[in-house]
């Protein structure tokens, strides 16, 4: 078994001050490993990086079309959003169109990360609700599917038809039975797989085309919705949003808690999975940017890239003190 590999370095002057170890896998059209760092067989929880997989049932079942969902709805179903009005308003309308209310969600309340929304709640002495939860779009998707199936309200139960369907889809696109699940921050099951399995799944999404099987068509629609609506997938200042904007639709990417990151590159037919062992977000963002540059979909000199890859570290007086950069093995 391979060990975690150095993927990101933090330098202060001439001194390497910190090192982030982890795993990264790039898969091609047939699920074969094109490149790998660390251990491709490492079993991990992909966390929110798996949201597009969790959304497959919403589309392939016909539920999305039956409810008249748009590409914006599908992007929100894949989102870890900031709780800004552009996120919460459409989720609230989505629930209303289902004949449901905020209490029907099972994700739990969360203070929004979006500064204006957060300030508005604090200044009005209002508590956040479940619609503010970064996963509320995914849960609205779960509720849509549950209603379409005529299933019960506890859609996050691992034995609920919605979650059984998620597991079946997850195991299909990763190419292996999942060894189990953890309960995510939003209370839904999060299924584990290997780094290779997740990269294989992203390659499936990357190469999916509408007009194929129901699953392939669903994957293509979800991927394209993410690339079309980067503002809905995360939020202003976030890596997913800024890097997808910088790529102009050339790739769809998604972060997950504890430093997971995935990418789908349709033109190249590649899927990428990244996991930093210590859970350091700065390293995951640096590494995914480096791999996107490596495979020709992201400009190394774009400001969004330079915030994360070869990012200058400044002190409180604005003096350049160091740099966050990918390990040399990630560069061409």
> In this predicted structure, what is the pLDDT of residue 14?
96
> In this predicted structure, what is the pLDDT of residue 2?
78
pLDDT tier for residue 332 given thresholds of 50, 70 and 90: confident
Count the domains in the chain. Answer: 1
pLDDT tier for residue 39 given thresholds of 50, 70 and 90: very high
> In this predicted structure, what is the pLDDT of residue 310?
98
Cα separation, 249 vs 230, whole angstroms = 9
CB 55 within 8 Å of CB 222 = yes
Residue 54 clears pLDDT 80, i.e. is over it: yes
What are the residue ranges of helices labelled H in the chain? 51-54, 56-60, 63-66, 71-77, 85-97, 115-123, 136-149, 161-174, 195-207, 214-228, 230-233, 239-247, 281-294, 303-306
Residue 5 clears pLDDT 70, i.e. is over it: yes
CB 197 within 8 Å of CB 39 = no
Mean pLDDT of the chain: 98
Q: Which range marks the domain in which residue 55 is found?
A: 5-330
> Which CATH number characterizes residue 268's domain?
3.40.710
| Percent of the chain with pLDDT strictly greater than 90 | 99
- Those residues whose C-beta lies under 8 Å from the C-beta of residue 39, and which sit 6 or more positions away, are 1, 2, 3, 4, 23, 195
Cα separation, 241 vs 70, whole angstroms = 19
What is the distance between the terminal CA atoms of the chain, rounded to a whole angstrom?
26
> In this predicted structure, what is the pLDDT of residue 161?
98
pLDDT tier for residue 1 given thresholds of 50, 70 and 90: low
- 115-169 pLDDT, tens digit each: 999 999 999 999 999 999 999 999 999 999 999 999 999 999 999 999 999 999 9
Residue 7 clears pLDDT 80, i.e. is over it: yes
Alpha-carbon dihedral of residues 226, 49, 280, 187, nearest 10 degrees?
120
Residue 207 clears pLDDT 70, i.e. is over it: yes
> In this predicted structure, what is the pLDDT of residue 29?
92
Q: Which of 187, 173, 195 is nearest to 53 (CA)?
A: 173
| Percent of the chain with pLDDT strictly greater than 70 | 100
């Amino acid at each position: 078994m391979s060990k975690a590999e150095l993927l990101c370095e933090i330098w202060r002057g001439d001194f390497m001050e910190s090192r982030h170890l982890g795993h990264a896998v790039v898969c091609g059209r047939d699920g074969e490993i094109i490149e790998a760092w660390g251990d491709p067989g490492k079993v991990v929880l992909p966390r929110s990086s798996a949201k597009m997989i969790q959304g497959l049932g919403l589309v392939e079942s016909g539920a999305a079309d039956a409810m008249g969902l748009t590409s914006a709805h599908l992007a929100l179903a894949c989102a870890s959003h900031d709780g800004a009005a552009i996120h919460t308003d459409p989720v609230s309308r989505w629930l209303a169109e289902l004949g449901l209310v905020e209490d029907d969600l099972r994700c739990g309340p969360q203070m929004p990360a979006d500064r204006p929304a957060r300030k508005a709640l604090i200044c009005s002495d209002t508590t956040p609700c479940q619609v503010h939860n970064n996963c509320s779009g995914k849960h609205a998707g779960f509720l849509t599917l549950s209603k379409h199936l005529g299933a019960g309200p506890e859609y996050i139960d691992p034995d609920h038809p919605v979650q059984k369907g998620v597991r079946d889809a997850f195991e299909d696109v990763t190419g292996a039975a999942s060894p189990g699940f953890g309960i995510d921050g939003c209370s839904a099951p999060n299924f584990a797989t290997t780094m290779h399995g997740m990269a294989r799944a992203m390659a499936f999404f990357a190469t999916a085309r509408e007009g194929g099987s129901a699953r392939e068509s669903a994957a293509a629609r979800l991927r394209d919705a993410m690339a079309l609506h980067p503002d809905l997938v995360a939020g202003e200042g976030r890596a997913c949003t800024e890097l997808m904007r910088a790529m102009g639709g050339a790739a769809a990417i998604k972060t997950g808690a504890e430093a997971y990151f995935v990418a789908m590159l349709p033109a190249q037919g590649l899927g990428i999975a990244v996991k930093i062992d210590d859970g350091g977000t700065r390293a995951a963002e640096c590494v995914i940017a480096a791999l996107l540059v490596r495979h020709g979909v992201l400009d190394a000199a774009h400001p969004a890239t330079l915030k994360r890859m070869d990012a200058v570290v400044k002190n409180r007086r604005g003096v350049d003190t160091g740099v966050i950069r990918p390990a040399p093995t990630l560069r061409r």
